[in-house]
A and B are shown apart, each in its own frame.
Chain A
Amino acid sequence: MDLQIALLLGQDGVVNGAIYALLALALVLVYAVTRVIFIPQGEFVAYGALTLAAIQAGKTPGTLWLLLGAGVAVALVDAFVALRDSRPRRLARIALWNLALPLAVVGMARWLEPARLPLVAQVAFALAIVVPLGPMLYRLVYQPLAEASVLVLLIVSMAAHLALVGLGLFFFGAEGSRTPPFSDARIELGAVAVNGQTLWVLGASVVLIAALYRFFGRSLYGKALRATALNRVGARLMGISTTMAGKLSFTVAAGIGAFSGILIAPITTVYYDTGFLIGLKGFVAAIIAGLASYPAAAAGAILVGLLEAFSSFWASAFKEVIVFTLIIPVLLFRSLTSRHAEEEE
């Protein structure tokens, strides 16, 4: 290997690492706030990329119908609860968020012909379809189980993952898609040519991470999420509802997932089941951080990205084996430094 190859691999690794970092942050957030190990995160990556690809190809993305269907389901469940608790005033809000909003998105898909819109609008449109699926997923799958153990939530995550992968196959078919890059610019940096998409990914990741940092540090809603993560009972007593915190964290996670998918779609071909492995690599990074620390998760993600890039050069067949074996020394370290297992309630 010469320096040039090393730099190229390093570039690959950092780009992938940046994506894993975003996903890892979302996973840590969701886990801290809801105790859900968010396996379906990967499906949001795939849905984001494939929805954008479908829009650009002038097709109606299947996720649009999922949005509509999930909206109706949430509306029905919420309306039932509102009527049971004799709070009919809530019905208008329920209809607005779960019926009117998806219908508006469908209407735009019909009348605006998004395939002819500029890229920014297409991206926004893809996000408008995929991101609301996050809180809807929380409402339908996780909210009824909010008091369940981490273990039950994990199993339910696996179930949701399977269902969403199956739906992904139905919506987008078995063929993969690749979208055109955001820019065709190439920059010569010494010996290496850095292409525009790389810069887009890195730039967007940094901006997103900074925005998250500000959100958690400054806004009262961000603080409310942190408070829920630190002390659920305390947060509820402040009127921070577990449901609201759950939906908010799932919205953030779905947004990060879908946007990550959109960022990598020009770099790699995305299939309906690609997201799972990408999401799991985010997990490896999150586990390195003990599912707790945001900076450690980001650093772990870059490590995973680099390891993956270099092992694909030396032993490409064993790339996945090497990446997933990385967690063994990490677990060993964690295991040896913890005194004894805490009580699971």
Chain B
Amino acid sequence: MRPGLPLLAFLSVLAAAPALLPDFYITLLNYVGLYSIVALGLVLLTGVGGLTSFGQAAFVGLGAYATGYLTTAHAMSPWLALLVGLAVTAAVAVVLGFLTLRLSGHYLPLGTIAWGISLYYLFGNLEFLGGHAGLTGIPSLEFFGWKLDDGRSFYYLTWATLLGAVLATRNLLDSREGRAMRALKGGALMAEAMGVDTPRTKIVIFLIAALYACISGWLYAHLQRFVNPTPFGLHIGIEYLFMTVLGGAGHVWGALVGAGVITVLKQWLQDILPKIFGQSGNFEVIFFGVLLILVLQRARDGLWPWLKRLVPGRAARRVLPEADPLPRRSMPSAGTVLLEVKNARKQFGGLVANNDVSLNVIAGEVMALIGPNGAGKSTMFNCISGVDPVTRGEIHFLGQRIDDLESRQIARRGVNRTFQHVRLLPTMSVLENVALGAHLRGHKGVLPAAFHWERVEEARLLAEAKRQIDRVGLGDRLFDEAGSLPLGQQRLLEIARALAADPCLLLLDEPAAGLRYQEKQELAGLLRRLRGEGMGILLVEHDMDFVMGLADRVVVMEFGEKIAEGLPEVVQKDPVVLEAYLGGVEG
């Protein structure tokens, strides 16, 4: 990607700063850089992942104390101490993440509050860490014989680290793993159905955020040359979060803006507020508190989007690179029983949504599941796809039992679905939404993504997504925001997303709702072709013309029970079915 003009200007100013500015500002910029690294981790965690942590200062402390202790008491090399610090941080983050991230979203922040307080008191009370007085005499860093022993020389290390982290974060977000991360906020259930291991993804972003904080702490210790517990307390942890939110939690550059504004403001407020209040104390917290409340009430996206409008931007017009097609799953031969539901029962409290329903789907057929609203069809879909497991009964796929599997495991076996109430990521492009469906067909992890070493695979995934988008007729909307499509086309997008997974069983929940006549014809044509390729399709639909013209077999449900099954033309004349559909007040 070519850097734009504003970015080049920003980098030149940064590079020239040490030659132009007095010491005071260099120190300030060093701190802005260190804080930005921490805030960047929080952008990933809070803005992207919809999670948050108040304990980042404690991770900074881990990095700082690890190197502080090892380089003074054991004369270890600072570079080795960095690795130790990262390892310790990773261990803590994984444990905390494992404990809290499977629970609903507020347990992580609450857990990190407890962790932040505990670690702060631990630092202050452990003899070998110097207690509240801290550790002194930490050596300065040396870089191939170049001693970084003053703020000016350290400045380049700080900012190179920060810019490196910014680049890696941006790369990561623009990748297969990055799409999974961006799906966490508001799309976790859908992402699971596409095969994303969401608990693991959450732990990964928490881990990255913690590691960034640890690196910042390591730099801090070697810049300051001494550490004590104060900068690692809970209130500083809260301040990091404030920086992130103020700058714009959803934007990588927002971290820099937020860290810059808060650091400079704090400096200024600490000078003038005690004079106004007539006593000493950190009164700037009042100001920050009120400021943040106003930001969250009035401009929840923070300062960055507003700043961005002031800077001329470039239109994002992308061309997809050429790529080989992805390998495909071998389809079971026509006639194989794909899905077998045996006496499935689903109960919500006293309400029986599915009562001992049995059905099967065979490779190369379209099976329609019909019935009045509230008959339990979508519930059945959720049971099959593992979104909401059955209370009783068995579900088999290709002979293997799947009713006790998580939905991502079911997706891995070759089942994919659309949702009755469309579930997509409205601010992501059509292309990215569909590429999420191909998640399981890529394998490159976070590290290759951060360095963009996975471009070949990525190109293949995007090419596959594009192929499926073309197939459902949305080829001209590739780079549009998914949320800007009309509802009918959003449904088509969901079909493309499911197809990108290369499933052998496709579950479609009301795919034709909201489509015009012509579009319905095209959709029916597509489903016939898929059937011809040997795919099995289970379809819930209300448009009877659509169903009857397409389905090979039909199952009719009413009040959670199967009331009829058979060929469309037979079912259509079944008196029980007619009663279910036409039964009026007088009967």
A touching B, CB within 8 angstroms: yes
Which positions in A face B, CB cutoff 8 Å? 37, 141, 144-145, 148-152, 154-156, 158-167, 169-170, 173-174, 277, 280, 283-284, 287, 291, 317-318, 320-321, 324-325, 327-328, 331-332, 334-335, 338, 340-345
The answer for the CA separation of A162 and B262 in the assembled complex, in Å, is 15
Name the residue among A149, A154, A162 with the largest chain B CB count within 10 angstroms: A162
User: What are the residues of chain B within 8 A of A164 when measuring CB–CB?
Assistant: 289
List 17 contacting pairs A-B, 8 Å CB cutoff, sorted by A.
Answer: A149-B105, A151-B109, A154-B106, A156-B292, A159-B242, A162-B289, A164-B289, A166-B285, A169-B283, A174-B281, A318-B121, A320-B121, A321-B118, A321-B122, A325-B118, A328-B114, A332-B99
Contact status of A158 and B293, CB under 8 A, knowing A150-B106, A163-B285, A325-B114: no
What is the minimal beta-carbon distance from B175 to any residue of chain A, in angstroms?
23
- Return chain A residues, CB-CB under 8 Å to B241: 155, 158
A37 and B108 CA atoms in complex are apart in Å by 13
Other A-B contacts than A37-B110, A324-B114, A331-B107, 10 sampled, CB-CB below 8 A, are A151-B106, A154-B109, A166-B282, A169-B281, A169-B282, A170-B283, A318-B121, A320-B117, A324-B117, A345-B186
Distance of A144 Cα from B296 Cα, bound (Å): 10
The verdict on B245 contacting chain A, using a C-beta distance below 8 Å, is yes
Closest to B293 in A: A159
Identify which of residues 137-185 in chain B touch chain A, using a CB-to-CB cut-off of 8 Å: 185
Q: Cα distance A335–B104 when bound, in Å?
A: 10
Which applies to chain B's interface (DSSP): helix, strand, loop or mixed?
helix
Q: Which residues of A contact B286 (CB under 8 A)?
A: 162-163, 166-167, 170
Known: A159-B288, A335-B98, A335-B102. A344 touches B188 (CB 8 A): yes
Q: Are B297's CB and A144's CB within 8 A?
A: yes
Once the chains are docked, how many angstroms separate the CA of A37 from the CA of B277?
30
Given A141-B293, A287-B110, A340 contacting B52 (CB threshold 8 A): no
The answer, yes or no, to whether B100 is at the interface (CB within 8 Å) is yes
Picked from A144, A173, A340, A343, the residue with its CB within 8 Å of the CB of B102 is A340
Contact present for A155 and B245 (CB under 8 Å): yes
Residues of chain B with a CB closer than 8 A to A169's CB: 281-283
A162-B288 in contact (CB<8A): yes
User: Do the beta carbons of A155 and B52 come within 8 Å of each other?
Assistant: yes
User: Does A341 lie within 8 Å of B198, measured CB to CB?
Assistant: yes
Distance in angstroms between the alpha carbons of A37 and B52 in the assembled complex: 14
B110–A158 touching, CB < 8 Å: no
Which residue of B98, B185, B189, B285 contacts A165 across the interface (Cβ within 8 Å)?
Answer: B285
Q: Is B414 an interface residue (CB 8 A)?
A: no
When C-beta atoms are compared, the residue in chain A nearest to B290 turns out to be A163
CB neighbours of A283 from chain B (8 A): 110, 113
Q: In the complex, what residues of B have CB within 8 A of residue A328's CB? A: 99, 114
Name the distance in Å between B278's Cβ and chain A's nearest Cβ.
9
What residues of chain A lie closer than 8 Å to B300, measured between beta carbons?
A: 148, 152
* Smallest CB-CB A-B distances: 7 pairs: A163-B289, A166-B286, A159-B292, A162-B289, A324-B114, A166-B285, A317-B125
* Secondary structure of the A contact surface, majority rule: helix
Chain A residue at minimum C-beta to C-beta distance from B298: A144
Q: How far is the CA of A318 from the CA of B109 in the complex (A)?
A: 22
Give CA–CA (A41, B281) in the complex, Å.
22
Q: CB within 8 A of A340: which of B50, B107, B199, B293?
A: B199
Q: Judge whether A318 and B125 touch: CB under 8 Å.
A: yes
CA of A327 to CA of B108 in the docked complex: distance in angstroms? 12
A37 & B406 in contact (Cβ 8 Å cutoff): no
The proximity string for B residues 211-238 relative to A, scoring 1 for CB distances below 8 Å and 0 otherwise, is 0000000000000000000000001001
Are A327 and B111 interface neighbours, CB within 8 A? Answer: yes
Q: Which residues of A contact B192 (CB under 8 A)?
A: 340
- Residue numbers in B under 8 Å from A340 (CB-CB): 102, 192, 199, 406
Nearest-neighbour CB distance to chain A for B186, whole angstroms, equals 7
Which B residues touch A338, using CB under 8 A?
102-103
Contact B46 A151 (CB under 8 A): yes
- Docked Cα-Cα span, A325 to B104, in Å, equals 20
Q: Give the complex CA separation of A208 and B301 in angstroms.
A: 42
* Alpha-carbon distance between A280 and B192 when the two chains are bound, in angstroms: 34
* Residue B48, interface by CB 8 Å: no
Mask: chain B, 271-291; 1 = CB below 8 Å from A; 0 = not: 000000101011111111110
Task: Check A341–B104 contact: CB distance below 8 A.
Answer: yes
Which of these, A173, A280, A318, contacts B122 with CB under 8 Å? A318
Within 8 Å CB of A165, what residues of B? 285
In the assembled complex, B504 has its CB within 8 A of some CB on chain A: no
B59 sits at the interface (CB 8 A): no
The answer, yes or no, to whether B101 is at the interface (CB within 8 Å) is yes
